[in-house]
A and B are shown apart, each in its own frame.
Chain A
């Protein structure tokens, strides 16, 4: 099956798809990247037929992270991080719980599975519309306790201005360095325990270097801003997290359930014969086997969380800064503020964060023995 004409046919068949994707994905990203390095939108004629566009290098990125007026973008980034962590964490936990429950072969298992999974088939616009109604400050969820004779809750879903876990943006480089030190140190310790000293040293060296840099060097004192600027977790995001978890936790359930059901019964039996209680079987036999599933779920949910747009747009509206995320501010900056270059820069930042999550996964596809 390797005749020349066959190979030619194979290449000719896949060529149109490759060309389309080359243009629609890589070509268009390249164009956005180029726009992000210009000043398109700074001058008056941003929307002229032939707008005057100049190259400004990384200026737009610099101002996003350190500019006085781009404070909203920074809070949006913080919102996005908190949203991602909470949404992914809650979906995993709830999904695991649901999967374990379904795995008990309770009567009506199929019905329950259908119920937990149906939100996945809805459009985010539908979900957003429904939950906007559910989370009205004086009704819906807040009025739920009154059905049981309890006082109504008055939590301001989506509009609370309370911020917890506040931190100073000036100190961000230092925090990031410390986080880097922690990750590298943990990696080094893991390999040390495994007895792979060379690999451990490979991780330990940059950890020490970074530690020196942040503790005594410039990184510890470098401030992104000349003045303190606090950011934190907006409690208003909880409403969005709630709706998103409702929609996606059934999905993690399905992933885990499929995982649980590929575990051969002999393994469980063996553990039970050894005297393990059902809980112990889960803890020591099944959970470790589900670890790879957890990783792929993190990748999938994580990139959805980073890109989240429709849901916030439909639920809280584009102008609700407490629940805003970079995908929203990119849309507003570009199409309402006419700042095409800044909007493109936000898009590129977003793309880089998604890429940081996805590229390791894609690279794993290239490992020997996979994908031809």
Chain B
């Protein structure tokens, strides 16, 4: 029984597929979708009490940093000291938010432009790439996916200097277009993988039936693949947006001040000589808010992105 079940689960990469398959598959193909499972009988008595206490305790532990961040951000600078770090402020002090927001306003705009355009571009290219690799194998295409994927694992410090020199030589250093290009290129592996895995699950017959004459590459994409891709685009979009919004190394080294994204502004607030912690904490909350909101409201898709993009951190 064990062996056969293991075969069902497949090899390591099979499992990376598995969650994505059930999450983002066109309806009807998922085999063990959660909805189809009969809910387990609820437990009662001591076991239940113990498990519930444990999960509540763990939830509290996971929320402690949020609590600390929020209360610290609402304290007046002179009220912050290590001994009373755990106590909430007597009177909320909003000035840190005003100040942090004032400093962040231009960088928020930069981050938004950067994240939205890089996400859209890398998703579109990833979709086309995934389509080609999943449905239009050519000689050597078998090698293409692993070679593409390698790009998302490299430590980016190792390409920083050549990258910089390249951007400068093509005149893209310092502004948003250059940074967008970088995020699109290094985003290609993950978007290609996600779309590839999604498209592999679309049965070939569906494509074949639309094929009456030749030269249908773009027609198939436009009329069959693309309409089915909406869930994949949402997953990829959320994933890429979060990654790009949160990125720091490229942001700090490849832009001139007028075009710096928000993570740089936060490091600026918090880095080095921070004396009072209310400001960095308020800044952290502002910087984290967009991705956390996406996560709360589109959490289901976010989790799919995590699972499907299991490979990217």
Contact = CB atoms under 8 A, between A and B. Distances in A.
B136 A24 contact: no
Contacts of A250: 62
B207 to A, nearest CB: 6
Interface stretch (A69-77, A182-190, A304-312): A304-312
Contacts of A98: 58
B9 A265 contact: no
Nearest to A5: B215
A159 B299 CA distance: 37
Secondary structure at chain A's binding surface: helix, strand, loop or mixed?
A: helix
Given A32-B162, A354-B155, A6 B18 contact: no
A295 B155 contact: no
A31 B162 contact: yes
Given A261-B37, A289-B5, A365-B146, A130 B69 contact: yes
A29 B142 contact: no
Interface residues of A, number: 118
Interface in B31-68: 31-32, 34, 37-40, 42-43, 48, 51-52, 54-55, 58-59, 62-65, 68
B54 A347 contact: no
A197 to B, nearest CB: 20
Interface string B211-245: 10011111010000000000000000000001001
A24 B151 contact: yes
Contacts, number: 338
A361 to B, nearest CB: 7
A258 B16 CA distance: 10
A126 B288 contact: yes
Chain B contact residues: helix, strand, loop or mixed: helix
A364 B125 CA distance: 25
Interface in B169-199: 182, 185-186, 188-189, 192, 196
Interface of A: 1, 3, 5-7, 9-11, 13-14, 16-18, 20-21, 23-25, 27-29, 31-32, 35, 98, 101-106, 111-112, 114-126, 129-134, 136, 138-140, 143-144, 147, 246, 248, 250-251, 254-255, 258-259, 261-265, 267, 270, 284-285, 288-289, 291-293, 295-297, 299-301, 303-304, 306-307, 309-310, 314, 327, 330-331, 334, 340, 344, 347-348, 350-351, 354-355, 358-359, 361-367, 370-372
Q: Which 5 A-B pairs have the closest CB atoms?
A: A139-B82, A123-B246, A3-B214, A258-B19, A347-B158
